[in-house]
Structure 1
Amino acid sequence: MSTPALEELFTLRIEVGEPVDLGTAPDGHRRMVPVVGGTLDGPGGLTGRVLPGGADHQVLTPGFALLDAQYVVETSSGDRLSVHNRGVRSGSPQDMAALARGEVVDADRVYFRCTPRLSSAAPDWAWVCGRVFVADARRHPRRVDVQVFTVL
C-alpha cells in the first residue's frame, strides 16, 4: 500500500449569517449557522460562488464542535456542485467558547478539518461523485475558509 497524496481542488470562502441557537441537548449545545454566500477559487483560474441558502448544523461541547454543513457552489461556467461537509473543530475550552461568541481566535490554536462529499450532474464535474476529499478550514467571525483537496 502507498500513502495517499493530495491535490488542491479549490478554496471556498463561505460567508455565514448569525447563528440560530437551538439550546443544549443531552449530547451538546446545538445551533444552526446559515450560509449566505461566498466565493470559490481554484487552480487554473477556476472561479465561482457559494449560493445562499445552505446551513451548518453544529453540536458544541467545551472542547470541540461537530459540524454538518450542506450548501451549493456554482462555477463561473454555471456548473453546480452539491457539498455535504462534515467536520470537527477543536481547541481549548476558552478558544472554543470565543469562536462560538464570534470572536477572533488564532487559527494555529484550533484544529479544524473536514471531509466534503461532492456531487454534480454537470458532465465536467461528474467525476467528483467517485472521489474522496479532505479539507483544512479556518473560522473567522463572519466567514469560514475551506481549502479542499482530492485524495489521489
Structure 2
Amino acid sequence: MNTLATAPGLEHLATLIVDVAAPIEVGETPGGKRRVIPIVGGTVKGRELTGTILPGGADFQSIRSPEFTDIHARYVIETEQGETVYVENTGIRTGSAQDIAALAQGIPVDPARIYFRSYPHFETAAPRLQWLNTHLFVGTGARHPDRVELNFFLIR
C-alpha cells in the first residue's frame, strides 16, 4: 500500500486585471520602504468566478531591498451573480535592482524578468462559492504602470 500522496496539480481559477492608482509613498520604516497602491477597480474572468473588482482595496507593499518586495493586497470581487468575495493576496516580487526601480517609477518591465508569485485567500458567504473558503490557491502576476495582471490557480 502506497501511503505517499501524489503531487498536487493546478487548475486555472481566474485571470484578474486589477486597476491601480498612483502609489502613496509612506517612506522608510523598520519593515522596509512602505508604499500603498490604491485599487480602483478591475475585472475577473474565469470558468467559475467572473465579475468585477470593487474600488476601495489596496496593495500594501514593503520594499525590503532593491531586489525584493513583499506584497499584501486586500480587495473585494463582485461576481456577475451579485455575490461578494473578500480577497487577501500575499506574495513576493523579485528581480534586478534596475527592474524593480523601474516598476516603482511606473516604467514598463518585461514580466518574464520579474518573479511575482502569491497565495490568494478567499472568504465568501455565497452558497455557490463556499468551496473558495476551503481550498488553497496560488498565483502569478505581472505589474504594469496602470494595472496588475494576476492568474490564480486552485491547488488540486
CA deviation after TM superposition for structure 1 residue 79, in Å: 1.0
Where does residue 51 of structure 1 map in the other structure?
Answer: 54
* Inter-partner Cα distance in structure 2 for 1:81 and 1:19: 24
- Please state if 1:86 is matched with 2:116: no
Query: After superposition, what is the alpha-carbon deviation per residue over 1:91-121, rounded to whole angstroms, capped at 9, x for unaligned?
Result: 0000000001111001110000000000100
* Inter-partner Cα distance in structure 2 for 1:35 and 1:100: 16
- Please state if 1:131 is matched with 2:106: no
* Inter-partner Cα distance in structure 2 for 1:132 and 1:35: 23
* Inter-partner Cα distance in structure 2 for 1:50 and 1:27: 28
Aligned length: 151
Instruction: Give the TM-score normalised by the residue count of structure 1.
Output: 0.96
* Inter-partner Cα distance in structure 1 for 2:47 and 2:36: 31
Residue pairs, 1:1-150, within 5 angstroms: 1-43=5-47, 46-60=49-63, 61-150=65-154
* Inter-partner Cα distance in structure 2 for 1:26 and 1:68: 17
Q: Percent identity?
A: 46
Aligned residue type for 2:51: G
Aligned residue type for 2:77: V
Aligned residue type for 1:145: E
* Inter-partner Cα distance in structure 2 for 1:68 and 1:47: 22
Where 2:6 maps in the other structure, the secondary structure is coil
Instruction: Give the TM-score normalised by the residue count of structure 2.
Output: 0.94
* Inter-partner Cα distance in structure 2 for 1:145 and 1:59: 19
Where 1:43 maps in the other structure, the secondary structure is coil
- Structure 1 segments, 4+ long, off by >4 Å, are none
Where 2:143 maps in the other structure, the secondary structure is strand
Where 2:56 maps in the other structure, the secondary structure is coil
CA RMSD of aligned residues (A): 1.0
* Greater Cα radius of gyration, structure 1 or 2: 2
Where 2:125 maps in the other structure, the secondary structure is coil
Aligned residue type for 1:135: G
* Inter-partner Cα distance in structure 2 for 1:47 and 1:127: 15
Unpaired runs of 5+ in structure 2? none
